[in-house]
Amino acid sequence: MATNHKLSKTTFMYGCQCPKRLYLHKFRDDLRNPEDEFQQSVFNAGIFVGDLARKLFDGGVDATPPDSFSYQKAIEQTQKFIEAGETIIYEAAFQFEGVMCALDILVKRGEQWYGYEVKSGLSVKEQHVKDAALQYYIITNSGLPMADISITHLNKDYVRQGEIDVAQLFLHESILKGVLAEQDFVANKIKELKGVLELSDAPLIDIGRHCYDPYACDFTEHCWAHIPSKNSVFELRKGAGFKLYAEGFKHLDEIPADYELPTVPALQLEFYRSGGERLEAEPIKEYISTFPYPMFFLDFETFMPGIPEFEGTRPYQQLPFQFSLHVKRSPEAELEHYEFLGDGINDPREELKDQLIKLLEDSGSIVCYQVAFEKTRMRELAEAFPDSKQALTSIQERMVDLMYPFQKRWYYHQAFNGGYSIKVVLPTLVPELSYTSLNIREGGTASLTYSQLRYQEPEVIAQQRSDLLAYCKLDTLAMVRILEKLNSMVESALKAGGALNEK
Ligand code: SF4
């Protein structure tokens, strides 16, 4: 019987990212961050893709252990399958030098063995090669020569026509060359990481970019506890914080007055120190005067299923499922509100598009925040529904971007911290409107909520639909109020001489 392993593929990869992560994972579960619902959903999506990929190699036998404590059984089961002449084994498990790994799909053709590791993304990443290099090392050293090893990933060019065609949905990419080049690295790393597991305490490794690259570490709350929760150097944009931290600075107050920074973090720091704001009234007035009435304030929410759910869609295509629309027909007119939310089951795009075309009428400005996103969705809708192409193209041409004055820094406030997203701008310009009281507060959660709506109980569905509607509605109401505030600040500044530079 195989003896218990010290390292697995997962813990080996943790150790490659940061030996301290490996140590904490093994011995200090109490220091782990609270579970991240979004990360869990990415993990669940990966399992679904893996199950589908098995259809590429139908009729295999499964060595998956009954639970996560029984990997030794999976290793023994795999050996039995090989000895019994099985030619397709799912979750084939091996162990060598106290390191175990499982390979998604192991296939025998003639006398040769081929490995396929399934990934739910659209391409091969550097970390996939390292991960497969460990599998190749363990499998070949435990006595099974391999002719090739590939990453099986989703095909970005696949377009669903009818039922899912798994042969077209996936691509196999051989990474044998890269895997062979990493064999010495793997052998040395295994020795190093086994040494880490013998330590009496976690290795002394400081925070750095490795805390988020290639994966977000789940011990950041512990390791980053010494960083000030407000006004730390890591609030500076463009990665300036890592350089400053390496030079011994943690708080913005510690940065020397003559320290040279790139433009955006320098502006952030300048306004942090002065506590002020800046407004250039003329360019803002000139820009927003190009927004004719009626004004339609529009925002979409989208979701991106890895496995295309609807006819004519590709893996991870952004599919709009919801919009909120506030309409202001004149400066004095009452604000009108319209909204749409798909049913969570059927393709929402056609109805969403029809309602939008009707509601957006033929003239007036369509105000978005970060308009490139909405324009791209419109282009995609036009491709999907050629009969509506003319109407959707004319909608695109009427779109204007409320983010532009903030992106150009015609208005900048210390509290923006170098950013200009609506979530950054709103609390400063319109503090009475806030996302904090909502159950859904950002687009990632909205997308996740919608994609799982169909699996919920009716009362949960009703609550989550109401949460989604409230979130999207606030996005467009925020735009209305930000524009009003911008207008009033510009008018005041123009009366006072054209610019505000309060410090
Ligand atoms: S948070 Fe950073 S330093 Fe701490 S264990 Fe994770 S990767 Fe290592």
Residue-wise pLDDT for 233-291, tens only, equals 999 988 899 999 999 999 999 999 999 999 989 988 988 998 888 999 999 999 999 89
Question: How far is ligand 1, taken at its centre, from the CA of residue 436, in Å?
Answer: 29
CB proximity list for 126: less than 8 A, separation 6 or greater:
214
Cα dist from 496 to 209, 489, 490, whole Å: 46, 10, 10
Residue-wise pLDDT for 140-153, tens only, equals 999 999 999 999 99
Q: Ligand 1, closest atom to CA 21?
A: 5
Question: How distant is the alpha carbon of residue 475 from its chain centre?
Answer: 20
Instruction: Tell me which residue has its CA closest to atom 4 in ligand 1.
Output: 223
DSSP 330: S
Confidence of residue 5 (pLDDT cuts 50, 70, 90): confident
What are residue 150's phi and psi, to 5 degrees?
-130, 155
CA distance 75 to 89: 12
Question: Residues 55, 57, 61, 63: is their CA dihedral positive or negative?
Answer: negative
Q: Which residues pair with 411 in a beta bridge?
A: 279
CB 288 within 8 Å of CB 280:
no
Instruction: Tell me which residue has its CA closest to atom 5 in ligand 1.
Output: 21
Q: Can you tell me which residue has the tokens 């089961």? A: 77
Q: Taking the CB of residue 362, how many other CB atoms lie within 10 A of it?
A: 9
Q: Can you tell me which residue has the tokens 């399934």? A: 118
Packed helices 371-384 and 389-397: angle between N→C axes, nearest 10 degrees:
170
- In the predicted model, is pLDDT for residue 102 greater than 90? yes
Q: Which residues pair with 115 in a beta bridge?
A: 106, 149
Question: How far is ligand 1, taken at its centre, from the CA of residue 485, in Å?
Answer: 42
CB proximity list for 184: less than 8 A, separation 6 or greater:
none
Q: State which of 14, 18, 218, 227 you would mutate to test the pocket of ligand 1, scoring each by most atoms of that ligand within 8 A of its C-beta.
A: 18
DSSP 421: S
Question: How distant is the alpha carbon of residue 459 from its chain centre?
Answer: 28
Residue by residue, what is the 3-state secondary structure of 364-379? Answer: CEEEECCHHHHHHHHH
Maximum Cα–Cα distance for the chain, whole Å?
88
CB 374 within 8 Å of CB 399:
yes
CA distance 355 to 341: 11
Residue 14: both structure tokens together? 């943790």
Instruction: Tell me which residue has its CA closest to atom 7 in ligand 1.
Output: 211
Instruction: Tell me which residue has its CA closest to atom 3 in ligand 1.
Output: 207
Q: Ligand 1, closest atom to CA 208?
A: 2
Q: Can you tell me which residue has the tokens 């790994």? A: 101
CA distance 165 to 167: 6
Q: State which of 27, 29, 32, 207 you would mutate to test the pocket of ligand 1, scoring each by most atoms of that ligand within 8 A of its C-beta.
A: 207
Q: Ligand 1, closest atom to CA 224?
A: 1
Question: How far is ligand 1, taken at its centre, from the CA of residue 208, in Å?
Answer: 8
CB 282 within 8 Å of CB 262:
no
Exposed/middle/buried for 490, CB within 10 Å: 0-12, 13-18, 19+? Answer: buried
- In the predicted model, is pLDDT for residue 414 greater than 60? yes
Q: Ligand 1, closest atom to CA 24?
A: 5
CB proximity list for 330: less than 8 A, separation 6 or greater:
293, 294
pTM above 0.85?
Answer: yes
Question: How far is ligand 1, taken at its centre, from the CA of residue 20, in Å?
Answer: 6
Residue-wise pLDDT for 188-229, tens only, equals 999 999 999 999 999 999 999 999 999 999 999 999 999 999
DSSP 232: B
Q: Taking the CB of residue 69, how many other CB atoms lie within 10 A of it?
A: 9
Question: Residues 392, 393, 395, 399: is their CA dihedral positive or negative?
Answer: positive
Q: Ligand 1, closest atom to CA 218?
A: 6
Q: What is the mean pLDDT of residues 33-52?
A: 72
Q: Which residues line ligand 1 (CB under 6 A)?
A: 17-18, 20-21, 24, 205, 207, 210-211, 217, 219-220, 223
Residue by residue, what is the 3-state secondary structure of 146-178? Answer: CCEEEEEEECCCCCCCCCCCHHHHEEEEECHHH
Q: Which residues pair with 150 in a beta bridge?
A: 116, 174
Confidence of residue 48 (pLDDT cuts 50, 70, 90): confident
Q: What is the pLDDT of residue 69?
A: 75
Residue 73: both structure tokens together? 């059984």
Name the percent of the chain lying above pLDDT 70: 96
Question: How far is ligand 1, taken at its centre, from the CA of residue 42, in Å?
Answer: 21
Residue 64: both structure tokens together? 């998956």
Residue-wise pLDDT for 341-372, tens only, equals 999 999 999 999 999 999 999 999 999 999 99
Cα angle: 122, vertex 127, 130; to 5 degrees: 125
How many alpha carbons lie under 13 Å from residue 126 in its C-beta half-sphere? 5
Residue 209: both structure tokens together? 């970019």
Residue-wise pLDDT for 317-341, tens only, equals 999 999 999 999 999 999 999 999 9
> What are the chain's domains?
7-197 (3.90.320), 227-261 (no CATH), 282-502 (3.30.420)
Exposed/middle/buried for 411, CB within 10 Å: 0-12, 13-18, 19+? Answer: buried
Residue-wise pLDDT for 249-261, tens only, equals 999 999 999 999 9
Residue 490: both structure tokens together? 């510009």
CB 276 within 8 Å of CB 411:
no
Residue-wise pLDDT for 434-483, tens only, equals 898 899 999 999 999 999 999 999 999 999 999 999 999 999 999 999 99
Confidence of residue 66 (pLDDT cuts 50, 70, 90): confident
Question: How far is ligand 1, taken at its centre, from the CA of residue 165, in Å?
Answer: 41
Q: What is the pLDDT of residue 502?
A: 53
Q: What is the pLDDT of residue 503?
A: 45
CB 156 within 8 Å of CB 122:
yes
What are residue 118's phi and psi, to 5 degrees?
-95, 130
Of 283, 280, 240, which Cα lies nearest the Cα of 263?
240
Question: How far is ligand 1, taken at its centre, from the CA of residue 179, in Å?
Answer: 26
Question: How far is ligand 1, taken at its centre, from the CA of residue 124, in Å?
Answer: 25
Pairing assessment for the beta strands 148-154 and 319-328 based on DSSP bridges: unpaired
Q: Can you tell me which residue has the tokens 């609550």? A: 463
Question: How far is ligand 1, taken at its centre, from the CA of residue 17, in Å?
Answer: 8
Residue 72: both structure tokens together? 């030794």
Q: State which of 199, 204, 210 you would mutate to test the pocket of ligand 1, scoring each by most atoms of that ligand within 8 A of its C-beta.
A: 210
Average pLDDT, the chain: 93
Confidence of residue 133 (pLDDT cuts 50, 70, 90): very high
Please, which contacts does 456-461 make with residues 24 or more away whose CB atoms are closer than 8 Å? 461/344
